[in-house]
Amino acid sequence: MTDTLSQTPDAPRKSASLHTQDARTKKRNAAEARFKFYGLTAIAIGLFFLVVLAVSIVRSGLPAFTQAVVNVEFTLTKEQFDDAESQLFKTKAYSGFFNAALVERLEASGIETEFDEKAVERILGKTGGTIREYFRENQGELGSPVAFSLATSSRVDGYLKGRVTRENMEDSRFLQRADLDLVDDLQAAGILKQAFNWNFITGADSGVDNPGGAGIGASVVGSFFMMLVVLFLSLPIGVAASIYLEEFAPQNRFTDLIEVNISNLAAVPSIVFGILGLAVFIQFMHLPQSAPLVGGLVLTLMTLPTIIISTRASLKAVPPSIRDAALGLGASKMQAVFHHVLPLAMPGILTGTIIGLAQALGETAPLLLIGMVGFVARGYPDGFVAGFTEPNSAMPAQIYTWAARADVGFYEKAWGGIIVLLLFLLTMNIIAIILRRRFERRW
Amino acid sequence: MSLVKLTTSALAIAAISATTAAARDQVQVAGSSTVLPYASIVAELFGDNTDFPTPVVESGGSSAGLKRFCQGVGTEHTDVANASRKIRDKEIKACAENGVTDIIEVRIGYDGIVFASQKSGPAYTAFTQSDIFNALAPKVMVDGKLVDNPHTKWSDFNADLPAEDILAFIPGTKHGTREVFEEKVVAAGCEATGAFEAMMAVGMSEDDAEDACLEVMSDGRAVDIDGDYTETLASIDANANGIGVFGLAFYENNTDKLKVATMAGVSPSTETISTGEYPVSRPLFFYVKKAHIGVIPGLKEYASFFVADELAGPDGPLANYGLVSDPELSATQASIAAEETMN
């Protein structure tokens, strides 16, 4: 409109036709076409990086879901069981019995490759823990053959996955080149093969010399309990705070101050909350160390500002006419807010919550100081309440720990962990989308 | 479901757990990232072999671990501090101020520090302490005079070394490894090249000269690595001309990517370290809070399990991972059994 006004009325108007474009229209159209092109390029670049990221994660992570295993039937006698149980290093005794059984089996099968017991030891992983656990729980099966499927050492696993080759390996006490011949024989005989690594999905962390035994399951449970704490604390507190600030609080300096502080809090580096967590929750309130409860509390502090800001934004987005109508029909302020405004703001609140939770799920830094990063291999908690208080790790912390370990087997596990983390996040988002759909109302 | 109900139930759960908090049933360990691998092996086996729960082992560096250890007595504080160096007098004092007076020192074995570079990179195959000093110290000896370090390439001071720009990735100051690197490599090189005497000759006191001998240039040729050895490895991967400082065990787990250099003509291995031939090695420790024995279940058992012959001995899983076992292990076992504290 302003364009027509600025034109002087005396200036001779060019005759314009809708069928032929004049230079200015062409220029404007070209600018629009260019802008569309820029937009498309930006999206294409974004998609390209997304694809690169997804492909590299899947490519590096998929090997974590398979594991080279040795399938052997193994009989443990009552005497051997008692003997092993009487020792200090029990799992080593069990490994010894298992190795001896495997050597016997190999000799009987007439494998031509020469080998000694040391070679078998190098090929097999840390088998003792699994065997001991099984026979302690099933003492009735002592003396009868039991089929075991046990993880091999990380280098043999790498050999089957193509990570370790005869060319790039060096003879060491971990594996010798000659052992690979035996591995080939075992593979030909069907004793050693790749299998789906259930333990990776269900297990807990393992020592640095035992990548085959490491699993992410326990830390998934840890993350789950942390998210429960975050959800059930930050959602009600955050929503209550924003409703008060948005609908009831008087506009004065004090509320302004609070608003500024909440906005600032959202930008505080997450490690700061970790320090706070250590000082307040552990050293002052004496809550347990390394517990998902404390992790959840720390992450709640971190998530609250995000939820408050997004909730206030969605409350603001509800048209004032709805409030006015409710009040005009005689509803109290509280009724107007809870019966009319809040349901309409719900989708926005859910979006904010899910963004906050997703952020919290991926945080490692605040957990560093409260003892959830490191070697935490307690396994599954014994019950619901114990899930909050027993030491556990969280998924990002577990991934970080694995990525820092010397054995390459763990690096692969870290990528696999990222896949599980992304799946967890995806599930959370899908639940949020379903909830949003149900709450969505139009006016 | 009302918000009020949810909030109260969440707070109730928090309250229940707060009351049970006093009964911590697992050993809590923090400290050196060099000791962490060994401690995690032991922790896993301790959980597998005993009826005690698996201990929690955190990393963060020797200094950070000892600092947390010294914060006080009580279940909210850690029970064990891992350290890749001996506890300092200053730290013992800080401990005592917070009521942590009875500390049991446990030496678990020795660890070698090696210099390694990219496998296909320049031929860094032999170093002496003097080479490292000449490369990294701010003041070095040239033609019998103490001057500001003029070297930019390794071949500038040792014709046997490749003509490559000097670049070293060394452990950051929060790591116990840094102290060993400074004392056993840089300071040793300082004395061997005669720089120490030259400093004394220009009128520095012995203490000042010793401190000056430990200094490393901060112009980018020596890069502090504050993270784990994986970070050093990544830096080496990206810089073909770089050399990195690693623990022996880490190197042995990554022989496909790294090649190791000899130090003063000795190549690092568990054998050369245990005989003392390889010059750059250090003892590894952990410290136990005696006041927690009997309070935290399994603490004493964890300590004695750690140094048992079956684990820390020459044929145990720790030695298999790269720890050089301590010939005086039986004395350590006896001192744990008797709960002997440091004085």
Structure ipTM: 0.84
Which of A199, A159, A161 shows the shortest CA–CA distance to A175?
A: A159
**Pairwise CB contact (< 8 Å): B228 & A404:** yes
d(CA A364, CA B152): 40
**Pairwise CB contact (< 8 Å): B43 & A375:** yes
Report the domain count for chain B: 2
Alpha carbon of A402: minimum distance to chain B alpha carbons (Å): 10
Please check the confidence at residue A111 and state whether its pLDDT lies above 90: no
Same domain? B264 vs B132: yes
Query: Residue A210's closest chain B neighbor by CA?
Result: B41
Alpha carbon of A443: minimum distance to chain B alpha carbons (Å): 25
Which of B78, B74, B76, B64 shows the shortest CA–CA distance to B31?
A: B64
Please check the confidence at residue B289 and state whether its pLDDT lies above 70: yes
Q: Does residue A119 belong to any structural domain of this protein?
A: yes
What integer pLDDT is reported at residue B24 of this predicted model? 82
Q: Does residue B13 belong to any structural domain of this protein?
A: no
d(CA B211, CA B146): 16
Query: Residue B270's closest chain A neighbor by CA?
Result: A173
Domain that holds residue B330: 24-110+283-337
Same domain? B137 vs B274: yes
Same domain? B146 vs B262: yes
Mean pLDDT, residues A120-145 taken together: 88
Domain stop point among A196, A231, A256: A196
Same domain? A229 vs A179: no
Same domain? A240 vs A192: no
Domain that holds residue A361: 217-439
Mutate to test the interface with A, among B29, B44, B114 (most CBs of A within 10 A): B44
Same domain? B143 vs B268: yes
Same domain? B105 vs B65: yes
CATH number of the CATH domain containing B42: 3.40.190.10
Same domain? A262 vs A159: no
Same domain? A276 vs A355: yes
pLDDT category at A234 given cuts 50, 70, 90 is: very high
Q: Does residue B342 belong to any structural domain of this protein?
A: no
The answer to whether B244 and B235 have CB atoms below 8 angstroms apart is yes
Q: Nearest Cβ partner of B53 from A90, A229, A378?
A: A378
Same domain? A301 vs A419: yes
What type of residue is A281? Answer: F
The answer to whether B251 and B117 have CB atoms below 8 angstroms apart is no
Q: Does residue B324 belong to any structural domain of this protein?
A: yes
What integer pLDDT is reported at residue A378 of this predicted model? 84
- The residue assigned the tokens 């029990």 is A90
**Pairwise CB contact (< 8 Å): B255 & A404:** no
Domain stop point among B238, B253, B281: B281
The answer to whether A171 and A101 have CB atoms below 8 angstroms apart is no
Query: Residue B249's closest chain A neighbor by CA?
Result: A406
Q: Does residue B4 belong to any structural domain of this protein?
A: no
d(CA B176, CA B335): 24
Please, what is the average pLDDT of chain B?
87
d(CA A209, CA A153): 9
Please check the confidence at residue A2 and state whether its pLDDT lies above 60: no
- Between the alpha carbon of residue B45 and those of residues A53, A130, A154, B306, B317, the distances in Å are 37, 12, 18, 10, 10
Please, what is the average pLDDT of chain A?
88
Domain stop point among A196, A230, A254: A196
pLDDT category at B12 given cuts 50, 70, 90 is: low
d(CA A89, CA B46): 9
Question: For B62-73, how does the pLDDT look when each residue is reduced to its tens digit (9 = 90+)?
Answer: 888 999 899 999
Report the domain count for chain A: 2
Give strand pairing partners of A11.
Answer: none
Same domain? B93 vs B187: no
What type of residue is A191? Answer: I
Same domain? A244 vs A185: no
- Between the alpha carbon of residue A239 and those of residues A236, A297, B222, B289, the distances in Å are 5, 17, 51, 45
Q: What is the pTM of this model?
A: 0.85
Same domain? A246 vs A185: no
Q: Does residue A40 belong to any structural domain of this protein?
A: no
Q: Label residue B264 exposed, middle or buried (CB < 10 Å: 0-12, 13-18, 19+).
A: middle
Same domain? A192 vs A131: yes
SS3 per-residue string spanning chain B: CCHHHHHHHHHHHHHHHHHHCCCCCCCEEEECCCCHHHHHHHHHHHHHHCCCCCCEECCCCHHHHHHHHCCCCCCCCCCEEEECCCCCHHHHHHHHHCCCCCEEEEEEEEEEEEEEEECCCCCCCEECHHHHHHHHCCEEEECCEEEECCCCEHHHCCCCCCCCECCEEEECCCCHHHHHHHHHHHHHHHHHCCHHHHHHHCCCCHHHHHHHHCCCCCCCCEEEECCCHHHHHHHHHHCCCCEEEEEHHHHHHCCCCEEEEEECCECCCHHHHHCCCCCCEEEEEEEEEHHHECCECCHHHHHHHHCCHHHHCCCCHHHHHCCEECCCHHHHHHHHHCCCCCC
Q: Does residue A365 belong to any structural domain of this protein?
A: yes
Report which DSSP code applies to A216: S
What integer pLDDT is reported at residue B287 of this predicted model? 95
Please check the confidence at residue B18 and state whether its pLDDT lies above 60: no
Query: Residue A282's closest chain B neighbor by CA?
Result: B76
Q: Does residue B69 belong to any structural domain of this protein?
A: yes
CATH number of the CATH domain containing A327: 1.10.3720.10
Q: Does residue B190 belong to any structural domain of this protein?
A: yes
pLDDT category at A9 given cuts 50, 70, 90 is: low
Same domain? B219 vs B267: yes
Mean pLDDT, residues A168-177 taken together: 83
Q: Does residue B266 belong to any structural domain of this protein?
A: yes
